Structure 1
Amino acid sequence: MVQAIPKPLTFEDFLEQYPDNGGIYELINGEMVEVNPTGSHEEVVAYLVAEMNLEIRRQQLTYFLPRTCTIKPNTPNTAYKPDVVVLDRAALAAEPLWEKASTITRRESAQLVVEVVSTNWRDDYGHKLTDYEEFGIAEYWIVDFKALGATRYIGSPKVPTVSVYGLIDGEYQVSRFRGSDRILSVIFPELQITAEQILTAAS
């Protein structure tokens, strides 16, 4: 018997078929994948959201952090739901899918994306990194609070690390922060938090 191979979902299919069950789903190479964050993962996300919102108010920036947001990179049949995304309100008027589906299709809209590492660390350091780079996200943070990433990403011995990838001439350049290192961010240049504060937010 010949078994039919399921047809990959397009981005349009993903939006139309997105489950209405409160779950979080991403589209990876045409397959809808459910994301199940742990409690400690969510504690780290909550800390970052609080600190970034405070900085936005303090500096009176035009940014905001949506509760949920889909990013459609240039890669076909792919859509991501970042743990944290910083959007520029001024750019959203040109987004064709923002009002209908809280979806970003233009690089100007998303200033910064954060992925907090869980068991799918290969995604965060792999195709998400390359897709965000190609899409043109100015700054991408990988928060590896359990030091799950390979040594080629966080060094040896492996310790909890915040990797900040900044886009320079179309390519990401990485800076890694650990312990008492203050996080250096182009998007939030006056942010006064350390790697340790982020990495121990779930302790």
Structure 2
Amino acid sequence: MSTVPPTFTLEQYEHMVSCGAFDGAHRRRVELLHGEILEITPVGFAHANTVCRLVDWSYASVDLTQVAIRSQTPIRILVNQSEPEPDVVWVRNQPYTHHPNPSEVLLLIEVADTSLAFDRGEKLSAYAQAGIADYWIVNLKDSQVEVYRDPRGADYRSKSIYRPSKPGPNPLAAPAVTLSPNWLF
């Protein structure tokens, strides 16, 4: 007999977080994806350093009166009962009384080393289902930026790869801005 992991609604998960269910001596880093509570893998140096560089690039690249930069903080995806914590997110700059939802996300970036299969699989599926229009994976293993656009169902119809030998991608929210793979890797 196989066991099915328990599933939770966003409201149940947020209640658990607010009650400190994942705090204390055995604090766990978790996120909700497709109703399932998953442990987040520990962040190594290369991952952390890349996130910091992407945050710096983001702040230097946008009009901060229009765009707010968030790093490793939740977004709320009601359509598939998910509350992931992406590495870098550009959202509309406005007063928030809630975690941003997909309609407020302008660019979402995950940095992937040990999490590459997960970021290309379950996370990509969740983001596509939510209609996130501009999803990037900074793939540390292969030194490339993978850009996913045009979400349809649980997948993206467009995928582009940017390596250090090519010009980098331009965010849909800031087409004049380029992330140079030469600078990143």
TM-score, shorter chain, exceeding 0.5: yes
Q: Report the counterpart of residue 39 of structure 2 in structure 1.
A: 34
Structure 2 residue 136 is matched with structure 1 residue 141:
yes
Instruction: Choose from 168, 181, 184 the match for 1:195.
Output: 181
Q: Which moved more, 1:69-78 or 1:171-180?
A: 69-78
Displacement after TM superposition at 1:5 (Å): 6.8
Q: Report the counterpart of residue 156 of structure 1 in structure 2.
A: none
Q: Report the counterpart of residue 112 of structure 1 in structure 2.
A: 107
Q: Report the counterpart of residue 145 of structure 2 in structure 1.
A: 162
Q: Report the counterpart of residue 169 of structure 2 in structure 1.
A: 184
Larger radius of gyration: 1
Q: Report the counterpart of residue 8 of structure 1 in structure 2.
A: 7
Question: What is the TM-score when the length of structure 2 is the normalising length?
Answer: 0.79
Secondary structure of the 2:103 match is coil
Q: Report the counterpart of residue 153 of structure 1 in structure 2.
A: none
Paired amino acid for 2:37: M
Checking the alignment, whether the CA contact within 8 Å between 1:113 and 1:141 is kept in structure 2 is yes
Checking the alignment, whether the CA contact within 8 Å between 2:112 and 2:139 is kept in structure 1 is yes
Q: Deviations 1:104-158 (Å, cap 9, x if unpaired)?
A: 23x32101100111222222111221221221212110110112xxxxxxxxxxx
What is the Cα-based RMSD across aligned positions, in Å? 2.7
Question: What is the TM-score when the length of structure 1 is the normalising length?
Answer: 0.73
Instruction: Choose from 92, 99, 102 the match for 1:103.
Output: 99
**In 2, Cα distance between equivalents of 1:75 and 1:126:** 17
Percent same amino acid at aligned positions? 25
Paired amino acid for 1:103: H
Paired amino acid for 2:51: V
Displacement after TM superposition at 1:76 (Å): 3.4
Instruction: After the TM superposition, list the runs of 4 or more consecutive aligned residues in structure 1 that deviate by more than 6 angstroms.
Output: none
**In 2, Cα distance between equivalents of 1:75 and 1:65:** 23
Q: Report the counterpart of residue 71 of structure 1 in structure 2.
A: 75
How many pairs are equivalent?
A: 174
Q: Report the counterpart of residue 87 of structure 1 in structure 2.
A: 91
**In 2, Cα distance between equivalents of 1:32 and 1:169:** 25
Secondary structure of the 2:85 match is coil
Unaligned runs of 5+ in 2: none
Paired amino acid for 1:177: Y
